Chain A
Amino acid sequence: MEGGKMIEARRISKFFSIVNKDGIAEGLTACMSVTLSIEKGKIITLLGPSGCGKSTFLEILAGLQAPTEGEVYIDGVRVLEPLPSTRAEMETYRKKYRFLSPLANDLFRDRPKHDIAMIFQDYAVFPWMTVLQNVTFTLKLRGLPRSEREKQALFYLNKVGLGASVNKYPSQLSGGMRQRLAFARALSVEPKAILMDEPFAAVDVLTREHLQDDLLKLWESSGITIVMVTHDVAEATYLSDEIIIFSPSPGTIRNRFKIDVPRPRRRDDPDLADIEVRISKLLKYDVDNECEYSI
């Protein structure tokens, strides 16, 4: 848990070109010059009204989308290494991956770009694999030898309390259990950081609080860096070390709140409630302004 930067995003911008309802192409700015650095072992939440580019930003951090401008570094390694442009670069690239072309490399070889995991809203666990297969599949992608996969998968499934349902299919699980499966899948590869996009949005309140506490337990025992997107201000204040508030059109960082309330925290802590009120006000102001614009 020693200091140092885990994730560094430098002036990330993302533009989409979309076709509006009159059939005319126009530009859309999902993220505008977002700079953010996240320290190792912290929990950071991104808060903001929907459509302000939080998911897009998270996917850029994960390397699932290329930013239009800017760079992301995870633990000092550039995400989405740009393709070689000169002949010399190409040579080193080929030597590095021992394949004829970067394209073939991406086509045929499982190769983690960097050491993170991501959890999506609605879980995105694979319904055609059993609980166990869901986890062993990701371990296979990470190149773990066959003999160790099942052992490690079972270890993490037990850790999240799914040890009894390893041979079930996700359709036979409840929403909360599916979320646990997504956790197990992400934790099993022992990543340096986990990115989560509204992980608790689709479960009921009681399950949600339960899962939040479980998440904190897992976090304390592993010291992973967590970046989370949420709509829920209470959730953000309860969990995070720092809250980043996004504002819409164009999506950019508006405020940052450090939360120094010591852990373990209580949900009814008056300090947390105070912060929650301040953040809610801020968000409400944003939304109200947005409405004035559109009227």
Chain B
Amino acid sequence: MQVEQQYGSKGLGLLTRESGLFLKNSFGSLFSREFIKVLIPLLVLWEVIPRFDILPRTLAPTLSDVALAFWDMVVNKGLFLHILYSLAKFLAGLLIAVLTAIPIGIFMGWNLSIRKHALPLFQMLAPIPPPAWVPLTIIIFGIGLPMQIFLIFLGAFYPILFNTYQAIKDTDPRYLSSARVFGASELTLICNIYFWNALGAIIMSVKTGVAIALVMLVIAEMYGGRSGIGYLLVEAKDFFQIPAMVVCMLVLGIIGWFSIELLKFAELKLALWKVGR
């Protein structure tokens, strides 16, 4: 009853409250009293040190240089559009990885025969560092969107696959037995027992996947294409625009942080049953 009251209100109000809650939970730490005490001196030092030539200003841009570069990129280079491109590729690659790795992981964890047929293949391919795939991928897909999305997918695929598989395999047999006694079919077990039992681990694995996919996003964009943050980064390097490079790096950091926090929030919402354990 209480739960219903809490989540009962519909629509816009709910959305604003949930997103407010999300922002507060995730990024509130940035503005906590404790961190402000660290943040402000840091920003001041950042501004001051290059100005007094303790570090050469050409190599270490000040805060205001970076801010100006940011504004310049927004106005002249369409920074936000590039961010959007990067995000779209990132999400596409991640989504494909999630949609393939989770089912394969579930089937491998569920059935011994499937596991024995499929697992060695993945065990052999997984240790290849994803960046090592770049040359082959470029030859096969050419330079462009498919190659970039494939590389991002590759980064996220294996961590999700292996963690999902492991979690499914380790499902407590008593949960399975107590459903089987009542006549559950294997399909029901997969949908109602295995999956939910492993959900926490699956979300964890997507977090790992996000981290590696982000690495692959930058690599993919640096190697080819004319869009995205990675592309801006390489361009800035070619023209020796250090402030622009710093802007790109910060943007990437924020994308990573944001996606991890989004997953944590999803975990909190989905795994309601674990709260208070």
Chain A residue numbers with a CB within 8 Å of B25 are none
Q: Mark A104-144, 1 if CB is under 8 A from B, else 0.
A: 00111111110011101010111111000000011001100
Chain A residue numbers with a CB within 8 Å of B192 are 126, 137
Q: Report the minimum CB–CB distance from B123 to chain A (whole Å).
A: 22
Q: Report the minimum CB–CB distance from B81 to chain A (whole Å).
A: 41
A126-174, CB < 8 A from B: 126-129, 137-138, 141-142, 167, 169-172
**Is the CB–CB distance between B178 and A118 below 8 Å?**
yes
User: Complex formed: what's the CA distance from A141 to B3 in Å?
Assistant: 26
Does B19 sit at the interface, judged by CB under 8 A? no
**Is the CB–CB distance between A171 and B276 below 8 Å?**
yes
Instruction: Identify which of B89-97, B142-150, B182-190, B259-267 touches chain A.
Output: B182-190
Chain A residue numbers with a CB within 8 Å of B186 are 106-108
Interface size class of B (residues with CB under 8 A): 20 to 34
Instruction: Identify which of B131-139, B193-201, B226-234 touches chain A.
Output: B193-201
Chain B residue numbers with a CB within 8 Å of A286 are none
Does B54 sit at the interface, judged by CB under 8 A? no
Chain A residue numbers with a CB within 8 Å of B177 are 59, 62, 64, 118, 120, 124
Does B277 sit at the interface, judged by CB under 8 A? yes
**Is the CB–CB distance between B2 and A167 below 8 Å?**
yes
**Is the CB–CB distance between A124 and B187 below 8 Å?**
no
Summarize B's interface: helix, strand, loop or mixed: helix
**Is the CB–CB distance between A170 and B273 below 8 Å?**
yes
Does B179 sit at the interface, judged by CB under 8 A? yes
Q: Mark A48-66, 1 if CB is under 8 A from B, else 0.
A: 0000000000010011100
Given A106-B186, A167-B3, A170-B273, 17 extra CB contacts under 8 A: A59-B177, A64-B180, A108-B187, A110-B185, A117-B181, A118-B178, A120-B174, A120-B177, A122-B174, A124-B172, A124-B174, A141-B182, A141-B183, A171-B273, A171-B275, A171-B277, A189-B182
Residues of chain A having any CB pair with chain B under 8 Å: 59, 62-64, 106-113, 116-118, 120, 122, 124-129, 137-138, 141-142, 167, 169-172, 189
Residues of chain B having any CB pair with chain A under 8 Å: 1-4, 172, 174-175, 177-188, 192-193, 196-197, 199, 271-277
